Amino acid sequence: MKIHIKNGRVIDPASGLDAVLDIYVAASHIVGIGAPAAGPSQGRRSAPSGGSEAWGPSIPADFHANQTIDASGLIVCPGLVDLSVRLREPGLEYMATLETEMHAAAVGGITSLACPPDTDPPLDEPGLVEMLKFRAKHMPGPRVYPVGALTRKLKGEGITEMAELTEAGCIAFSQADAPLIDTQVLLRAMEYAKTFELSVWLRPQDPHLAREGVAHDGVVAARLGFPPIPVPAETVALSTILLLVRETGARVHLARLSSRAGIEMVRHAKQDGLPITCDVGIHHVHLSEMDTADFNAHCHLIPPLRSQRDRDAIRHGLEDGTIDAICSDHAPVDDDAKELPFQEAEPGATGVELLLPLTLKWARETGLPLTKALGYITQHPAAILGVDAGRIGIGRPADLCLFDPEATWVVNRANLASLGKNSPFLGLEMQGRVQYTLIDGHLDFRRGNHH
Amino acid sequence: MSANLQLTDDGRLRHLLTLDGLPARILTQILDTAASFITVTDSERDVKKVPLLRGKAIFNIFFENSTRTRTTFEIAAKRLSADVVNLNINASSQSKGETLLDTIANLSAMQADMFIVRHAAAGAGHLIARHVAPHIHIVNAGDGRCSHPTQGLLDMFTLRHYKGPFHNLRVAIVGDVLHSRVARSQIHALTTLGCPEVRVVAPKTLLPRDVENLGVHVFHKMAEGIKDVDAVLMLRLQNERMRGSRLPTAGEYYKHWGLTPDKLKLAKPDAIVMHPGPMNRGVEIDSAVADGMQSVILSQVTFGIAVRMAVMSILAGN
């Protein structure tokens, strides 16, 4: 399959490229990037930097496209890389299925995703991981990178066969949102992972300080009486993890930071040269505890939405590079588990289809150029995964996302491909919509109404 | 926001879910209406009934046990001539796996006009109010730690009855504010009705973080917290809190925060003492105070019926 993508505004955060160019795809790879083949097209947006004059026409020899995509007015960026997508398989198919969520991810422009091990049973045996990889490989949708369970059954007691699980396809090990109470087990798990130079992903939360909590320990919880999760639940756990990283040298990725104090600790630890990276969920870039004040169960998230100051600190942490990546933390939840009082509702929000528009919204609000903003959902998470993704360049895998930056759409049940309709943004308008998603050189998704 | 859910488009009360965000005019309307019902509940009267809610079906739906609150709602509804159905849900359908909204949908199909709901989770009333048909009214009879609006209103009624206008009052709320829906409703009502000084008195383990944001002054010592107040609003200490990580023993709690005659002397000489019941004598309150001259605890119970009659009749009329 040879595909010619014409006249798109190509943005590659890794190289800083932002210019109207043509891209040529063959045999799963990008084989050519060059100035538009046939004269300047009508109504094309002018690129702010790295204009297409710098690129000569570069149609590879003998390139005869099977398919041509007119990307005029569209932005062509690397396919999105999402560090946390719950596909709900195995065992939780009543919430969503592998097929629906893989498709939803492609609709959202995602071409690579990591799935956490909190399935039923958890991903703690090579056979489960092989089965998941096999099933995912034989259906359309993004490349799936399972994150293996750090401990057996995620119980926090015995460590898993990390080496075997890595051979089966795991790219990292985590507890997902399950507690790891025994600090000695955490130390041993990090030492064992370091033995094989494996990456450990941890969401810092002290299970005792967070006990029974459902919301940030702040103004809204004081007012509504929500059982609270105080900020020290994050910082105390973080402090333990950082000390153990110092001790073991293990490569640790910190998942879903939520507090200003936590981000400040990561900032210092990075300055000290610790081998850590960190991410936040896209909802935490936009929302705060104030959004829980009307008991909206869609805003019951893990970790909890914290204060406005914490949210501002997340934005600041992204801009200064303390936070490396933004993920959707996709958690499709069925209606029965959400149509409950706030504290009884299953936490989480559907996210794969909102990751791009909400990242664009953040970029618009902060004035961040797209060459930088898109890096948090492409190049940086790809580096954390350690895979060749998230970049546009000759010889790179043809994983691409083509979106219309001007298109607006309303988040509602009908517009979401995910089985999870649980979104804090239901009823709200988004700007920016994926029109085509190319995965491994194939057109995996194309929106019906784009011409 | 929650306030809008409670009001009709023209600003009248549609549901009573929380006192947080309700305007003073509605609180005052309820208190004034309750005053007019006091004569109906007067023990001297032979027929303690008015026909305001004749033919209306009121369902008491209690997902959490409470004999006392349920009974006062039942009496109030019957004095308004309504038909009352009592349901204790925790013992029946919920254990069979029926969801909260399914339960409500089923009961709505039985031609209910009003639901009185108690639930262990904050915001349960809000959730139900969002899903019922427009003609059905919801009264929150206690949701988690969030709110207990009729209790807050009956406390305001009692305060106003004995102490007059709110703008002259200094009030202390003493005890487990953290877990108390009563305290939250009292705080919202007092600040809305113009009480210039609302204090909370408790150990740090029984206060929410950022509680000052609710407009209260925080005290940890009884001697300072109840000094020169016009009213002491005691809170119940749940049995499970008496020993554990929040408090070492009931005895130590009593010593520091139990209301004794000696401590009460620090308040104004004519200060009143209130308690939402049921009391733990010898834990949060000494019997000499509970049964003493300054106690208006039994009046609260009587006024509670008039206040609930007022709430139900106003809702049914809107």
- Rounded mean pLDDT, A190-195: 98
Mean of pLDDT over chain A: 94
CB contact under 8 A, A341 and B2: no
Q: How far apart are CA A159 and CA A185, in angstroms?
A: 8
A340 interaction partners in chain B (CB closer than 8 Å): 99-100, 121, 127
Q: How far apart are CA B168 and CA B151, in angstroms?
A: 22
Position A213 pLDDT exceeds 60? yes
Position A123 pLDDT exceeds 80? yes
Question: To the nearest whole angstrom, how far is the Cα of B211 from the nearest Cα of chain A?
Answer: 6
Q: How far apart are CA A246 and CA A239, in angstroms?
A: 11
Closest CB to B122 among A336, A339, A342: A342
A297 interaction partners in chain B (CB closer than 8 Å): 127
Q: What is the pLDDT of residue A363?
A: 98
**Do A418 and A350 contact (CB within 8 A), yes or no?**
yes
Position A47 pLDDT exceeds 50? no
How many other CB atoms are found less than 10 A from the CB of residue A331?
Answer: 26
**Do A283 and A329 contact (CB within 8 A), yes or no?**
yes
Share of chain A above pLDDT 70, in %: 95
Number of H helices, E strands in chain B: 12, 9
CB contact under 8 A, A340 and B208: no
With 0-12 / 13-18 / 19 or more C-beta atoms within 10 angstroms meaning exposed / middle / buried, residue A451 is exposed
- Among candidates A75, A55, A93, which has minimal Cα distance to A377? A75
Question: To the nearest whole angstrom, how far is the Cα of B93 from the nearest Cα of chain A?
Answer: 15
* B46-77 b/e (C-beta count within 10 Å ≥ 16 → b): eeeebebbeebbbbbbbbbebeebbebbbbbb
Give me the sign of the Cα torsion angle A108, A110, A111, A113.
negative
Q: What is the pLDDT of residue B41?
A: 66
With CA atoms as reference, the chain B residue closest to A219 would be B210
- Among candidates A343, A232, A308, A212, which has minimal Cα distance to B213? A308
Q: What CATH homologous superfamily does A79-385 map to?
A: Metal-dependent hydrolases (3.20.20.140)
Reported as type and span, the H/E element at residue A163 is: helix A162-168
Q: How far apart are CA B191 and CA B28, in angstroms?
A: 13
Q: What does the pLDDT look like over B1-34, one tens digit per residue?
A: 444 899 999 999 999 999 999 999 999 999 999 9
Q: How far apart are CA A329 and CA A147, in angstroms?
A: 13
- Rounded mean pLDDT, A4-11: 97
Q: What does R_g of chain A's alpha carbons equal in angstroms?
A: 21
- Among candidates A309, A312, A291, A310, which has minimal Cα distance to A301? A291
Q: What is the pLDDT of residue A330?
A: 98
- Rounded mean pLDDT, A396-411: 98
User: What is the count of residue pairs from A and B with beta carbons less than 8 Å apart?
Assistant: 79
CB contact under 8 A, A225 and B210: no
B100 interaction partners in chain A (CB closer than 8 Å): 339-341
| Predicted model pTM | 0.93
**Do A305 and A351 contact (CB within 8 A), yes or no?**
no
With CA atoms as reference, the chain B residue closest to A222 would be B208
Q: What does the pLDDT look like over A241-271, one tens digit per residue?
A: 999 999 999 999 999 999 999 999 999 999 9
With CA atoms as reference, the chain B residue closest to A208 would be B245
- pLDDT confidence band for A54 (50 / 70 / 90): low
Within 101-130 of B, beta carbons closer than 8 Å to A belong to 101, 119, 121-124, 126-127
- pLDDT confidence band for A57 (50 / 70 / 90): low
Share of chain B above pLDDT 70, in %: 95
**What string of H, E and C letters represents the secondary structure of A351-388?**
CCCCHHHHHHHHHHHHCCCHHHHHHHHCHHHHHHHCCC
**Do A397 and A389 contact (CB within 8 A), yes or no?**
yes
Q: How far apart are CA B146 and CA B140, in angstroms?
A: 10
Cis peptide before A90 (omega within 30 of 0): yes
> Which range, of A12-21, A273-282, B41-50, B61-70, averages the lowest pLDDT?
B41-50
CB contact under 8 A, A218 and B119: no
> Which range, of A272-286, A370-384, A412-426, B58-72, averages the lowest pLDDT?
B58-72
With 0-12 / 13-18 / 19 or more C-beta atoms within 10 angstroms meaning exposed / middle / buried, residue A43 is exposed
Closest CB to B146 among A225, A228, A336: A225
Q: Where are the domains of chain A?
A: 3-77+396-404+432-446, 79-385
DSSP E strands in A27-71: the ranges are 29-34, 67-70
- Coil/strand/helix, residue A274: coil
Query: Of B101, B128, B146, which to mutate for an interface test with A (greatest number of A Cβ within 10 Å)?
Result: B146
- Rounded mean pLDDT, A334-348: 94
Question: To the nearest whole angstrom, how far is the Cα of B288 from the nearest Cα of chain A?
Answer: 32
- Assigned fold of A3-77+396-404+432-446: Urease, subunit C; domain 1 (2.30.40)
Q: What is the pLDDT of residue A43?
A: 39
Q: What is the pLDDT of residue A42?
A: 41
Can you name the residues that pair with A439 across neighbouring β-strands? A442
Question: To the nearest whole angstrom, how far is the Cα of B312 from the nearest Cα of chain A?
Answer: 24
- pLDDT confidence band for B242 (50 / 70 / 90): confident
B20 interaction partners in chain A (CB closer than 8 Å): 223
With CA atoms as reference, the chain B residue closest to A229 would be B209
- Among candidates A306, A302, A315, A293, which has minimal Cα distance to A223? A293
> Which range, of A11-20, A323-332, A356-365, B242-251, averages the lowest pLDDT?
B242-251
- Rounded mean pLDDT, A15-43: 84
Q: What is the pLDDT of residue A450?
A: 46
Residue predicted with more confidence, A338 or A55: A338
In the block, which residue shows the tokens 């303690």?
Answer: B48
Q: CA angle, A376 as apex, A201 and A74 as ends, to 5°?
A: 140
Position A425 pLDDT exceeds 50? yes
Reported as type and span, the H/E element at residue A409 is: strand A400-410
Give me the sign of the Cα torsion angle A303, A309, A313, A319.
positive
Can you name the residues that pair with A112 across neighbouring β-strands? A81, A143
Q: Are strands A172-174 and A143-149 parallel, antiparallel or unpaired?
A: parallel
- Rounded mean pLDDT, B192-202: 98
